Amino acid sequence: MAGDDFAQIVNVVNLYAVAVDAHRYDLFREIFTDDIRCDFGGGAAFSGIETFIASYEGIHAVFSATQHMVSGHAVRIDGERACCFSYVCGRFRRALEGGEGLFESTGWYDDVLTRTRAGWRISERTSRMVSHSGDVRVMQAMPGIDTDYVLLSLFGEAAAGRIRFLA
């Protein structure tokens, strides 16, 4: 694996956290392909960059702050495609009746990337949650999205063949 490819892939994955937390959704075009498919679980799934951007602008507008920390990147490159598995811890703050509420979750991103003329871009993202704490009302930001979260384990998802990085 070329070190430059590894660094570019990790940078693209990390840029997502900066874009979301800064509400700079224009950066999504530097992170995702135009035909991006994302599945965050609980009914939160998006296809296409324009739908993804518009959805995120609406969903994240209610938060007074977010913080996404991505770490533990494992990368496999196969020609013009790559997989990157990384861990994520997300914090979400929102004004609620009686003050600010805080919600924190941990989980992972299982990304498929494609080498484009502009560099590596995420073409598929699956995100799953391992744990959460705090006030779940903070996350009730999107109508029709389930906040009765299903918590999963990496070993269970891997045994079921649902982790692309390990396929």
Dist. CA 112–CA 47, nearest whole Å: 14
For the chain, what is the radius of gyration of the CA atoms? 16
Full domain range(s) for residue 132:
3-166
**What pTM, to 2 d.p., does this model score?**
0.93
Dist. CA 164–CA 94, nearest whole Å: 33
* Pick from 129, 148, 132: nearest CA to 140: 148
Tens digits of per-residue pLDDT, 98-149?
899 999 999 999 999 999 999 999 999 999 999 999 998 898 876 666 667 8
Provide the number of structural domains found in the chain. Answer: 1
Tens digits of per-residue pLDDT, 54-101?
999 988 999 999 999 999 999 999 999 999 999 999 999 999 998 999
CATH number at residue 132: 3.10.450.50
- Is residue 1 pLDDT above 50, yes or no? no
